[in-house]
């Protein structure tokens, strides 16, 4: 079985939201707590960094160029240099208590961004969607920390995870992609790790980064674990597919809240890994504005 390999000589604080650009042959990712979007061009090994004035929870590449970026206080359209061009909406949560976290796009090129409820006293986070006409809409609540957004190849299901609560949900979608009532897809037990960021393959299987679990796992459309890949660090944060054949898994990891002893023992915490797999992943749509 293949083992994860380092992509580049880099360790971040809280890398998340890996996003593959087939056109550029480049991997993008955010370092949430450093307020950065990174780009690594695989053919030349060029690594560039865009800096923002707030935490960058998630982002997506825009069809028109640049990014749509969910920062702590709101969601913005930017150019390719990261310069803020248009504010789409404010954070509908209290931004002092809840920052944006995981997100991405659906098959229609709409952008989703969830929040993470910092106080942890109840499920105060939410998931919102930015439509193609830039209309914002809150579509789910009762979440502690939103993660794991992915969409099935048949467009019938949206998958999400609530990391602190250790659960993956799936939500039925109608023909217009509007969500119905969510249901539990898989609940995790103590010691299994908790589901963080995720990606979907062309067979409809869900790949989840198991935070605090030292592993990546692949689940069938029925929620059965089919495969697992062990990681050399405790906390993988998210996965995405890329490469020429979409059979390379890119994996972000973190060193957030780790003490000096753990970082010294596991110095690759916060690194980006690659893993060849036997099935192709779904391509992420760019954000489409109409």
What is the rounded CA–CA span in Å between residue 92 and residue 9? 37
Is 174 catalytic? The answer is no
Q: Which two tokens stand for residue 264?
A: 């010294």
Closest CA relative to residue 277, chosen from 252, 254, 235, 243: 243
What is the rounded CA–CA span in Å between residue 176 and residue 181? 15
The one catalytic residue among 196, 201, 212, 245:
196
Q: Find the length of the chain.
A: 290
What is the rounded CA–CA span in Å between residue 185 and residue 114? 18
What is the rounded CA–CA span in Å between residue 68 and residue 86? 10
Contacts of 111 (CB under 8 A, 6+ apart): 60, 68, 75, 103, 104, 105, 129, 130, 287
Catalytic residue positions, numbered: 196
């Amino acid at each position: 079985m293949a083992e994860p390999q380092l992509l580049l000589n880099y360790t971040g604080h809280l890398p998340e939201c890996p996003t593959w650009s087939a056109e550029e042959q480049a991997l993008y990712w955010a370092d949430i707590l450093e307020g950065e979007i990174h780009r690594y061009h695989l053919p030349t090994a060029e690594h560039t960094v865009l800096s923002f004035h707030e935490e960058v929870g998630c982002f997506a590449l825009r069809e028109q160029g640049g990014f749509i970026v969910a920062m702590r206080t709101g969601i913005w359209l930017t150019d390719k240099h990261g310069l803020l061009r248009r504010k789409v909406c404010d954070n509908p949560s209290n931004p002092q208590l809840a920052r944006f976290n995981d997100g991405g796009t659906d098959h229609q090129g709409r952008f989703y961004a969830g929040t993470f409820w910092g106080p942890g006293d109840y499920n105060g986070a939410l998931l919102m969607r930015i439509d193609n006409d830039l209309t914002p809409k809150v579509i789910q609540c009762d979440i502690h920390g939103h993660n794991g957004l992915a969409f099935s190849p048949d467009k019938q299901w949206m998958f999400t995870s609530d990391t602190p609560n250790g659960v993956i949900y799936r939500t039925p979608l109608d023909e217009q992609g509007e969500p119905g009532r969510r249901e539990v897809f898989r609940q995790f037990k103590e010691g299994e790790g908790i589901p963080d960021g995720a990606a979907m393959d062309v067979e409809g299987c869900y790949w989840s980064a198991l935070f605090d679990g030292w592993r990546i796992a692949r689940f069938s459309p029925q929620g059965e674990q089919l495969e697992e890949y062990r990681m050399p660090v405790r906390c993988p944060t998210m996965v995405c597919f890329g490469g020429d054949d979409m059979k390379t898994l890119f994996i972000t990891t973190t060193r957030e809240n780790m003490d000096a002893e753990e970082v010294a023992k596991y110095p690759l915490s916060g690194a980006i890994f690659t893993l060849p797999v036997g099935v192709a992943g779904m391509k992420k749509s760019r954000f489409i504005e109409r």
